[in-house]
Amino acid sequence: MKKAPLYDMHSQQGAIFDDYSGWLMPKSFGNRLEEYLAIRNNVGIVDLSHRGKLRLSGREHIKFLQGMLTNDINKLEEGTGLYTTLLTVKGRIISDMRVFRDSESVLLDLEPGLNEKIRELLIKFRLSYRANIEDITETVALVSVHGSDSKKLLQKTLTEEIPELNEYSFLKREINGFQVTITRINRTGEEGYDIYIPSKAVETLWKSLIENGEEFHLKQVGLDTMETLRIEAAIPRYGVDMDENTIPIEAGLWHALSFEKGCYVGQEVIARIKWRGHVNRHLVGFEFEEEDLPVSGDKIIHDEREVGYITSSTFSPALKKAIALGYIKREFIEPGTKVSIKIREEKIQSAQVVKTPFYQKSQLVIK
């Protein structure tokens, strides 16, 4: 089992650990509701160092990625990024990722555990392209800052103003003598920033954020709370809400696709669906009348007919009810559609399809 660079510090601060794709990471720091409220109302920090990270460089690394990924890598300027997917020839998702373009390289941010698989696949398809593919998962840590006060916290830590950034845009700064990359990101539905920093320097950064965050009522946040925030924001997660059987359009990942760039792996399938057809199922949101949570794989029933299945669920502190994401046949995707969920083959629970995201920033402060 791998341990992130902050493991000892987390342990000293009372973290409760669990296995996340072969990494021991904090699932909680003791009070999940306090962690949740910190991000929804103030600011929280979370260790995401276990996420996969690849760096591509070389004379033709952009040209190589342009032919592999579903979004338009060529349009990226230095200091910007985008969300994209890597597909099979049949148009199914091998991985989603965020791509950030620097002056001479790009950074790929992946779900935990996918770095080795994606690196091997890219090497296989690299052929004669002059592109270097480096796995930096263990040498570069990732600290994520979220909440309405996240920018204020970063500005206090950096002792300088941070310009307004679009999502996936980033800037380079120096913290305690180390260069860091700060990207604007949405992982929770709140304002958020990811900080990529050399692993040997991350402990100093974490301590600085805690110290500077006292006036903002900062909390350290575990991955269980991040999962609740993610589901409320209706952000699909690879390995949970989508896998190698999923077409991006089924998961609603239109922002990961370009229909103007040239060919890429799986492009014919995506174009055919876009211009001539449709998919038979869609990822949608569900709200429940009771508090019993369904689990991944629980069946969705309509008029005694199985029409879909649940992928992820949580109890929403914002809505005070159980919510879930799941796939349902396209004729049942309209908000307000009543369905039943067969929970663990034992109980039938009423639910309805709802518009997502479940949580909107315009909602009142949650207590």
Query: Which one has a higher pLDDT value, 176 or 187?
Result: 187
Render 247-309 in DSSP notation, one character per residue: -TTTTT-GGG--SSS---TTHHHHHHHHHH---SEEEEEEEESSSPPP-TTPEEEETTEEEEE
Residues 69 and 215 in one domain: no
Question: Are residue 66 and residue 198 in the same domain, yes or no?
Answer: no
Judge whether 311 and 227 are in contact, CB under 8 Å: no
- 12 pLDDT band, cuts 50/70/90, is very high
Q: To the nearest whole number, what is the mean pLDDT of the chain?
A: 95
Within this chain, do residues 78 and 98 fall inside the same structural domain, yes or no? yes
Q: What is the pLDDT of residue 367?
A: 55
User: Do 177 and 104 have their domain in common?
Assistant: no
Residues 40 and 148 in one domain: yes
Please tell me whether residues 80 and 153 are part of one structural domain.
no
Is pLDDT above 80 for 363? no
The β-bridge relationship of strands 23-28 and 93-101 is unpaired
What is the percent of the chain where pLDDT is above 90? 92
Q: Is 12 within a domain?
A: yes
Q: How many domains does the chain have?
A: 2
45 and 61 together in one domain: no
Q: Is residue 156 part of a domain?
A: yes
Both 43 and 186 in one domain: the answer is yes
User: Which long-range contacts (C-beta less than 8 Å, at least 24 apart) are formed by 181-186?
Assistant: 181/100, 181/102, 181/107, 182/154, 183/81, 183/98, 183/100, 185/98, 185/144, 186/233, 186/235
Does residue 210 belong to any structural domain of this protein?
yes
Q: Would residue 237 count as lying in a domain?
A: no
Q: Is the pTM of this model over 0.85?
A: yes
Instruction: Return the CATH number at 78.
Output: 3.30.70.1400
CATH number at residue 160: 3.30.1360.120
- Residue 104's domain comprises 53-119
What average pLDDT score do residues 290-312 get?
A: 94
> Is 176 found in the same domain as 212?
yes
Q: Is the pLDDT of residue 176 over 90?
A: no
Residues 37 and 146 in one domain: yes
Does residue 366 register a pLDDT over 60? no
Please give the Cα distance from 189 to 359 (Å, whole number). 7
Residue 166 shares a structural domain with residue 27? yes
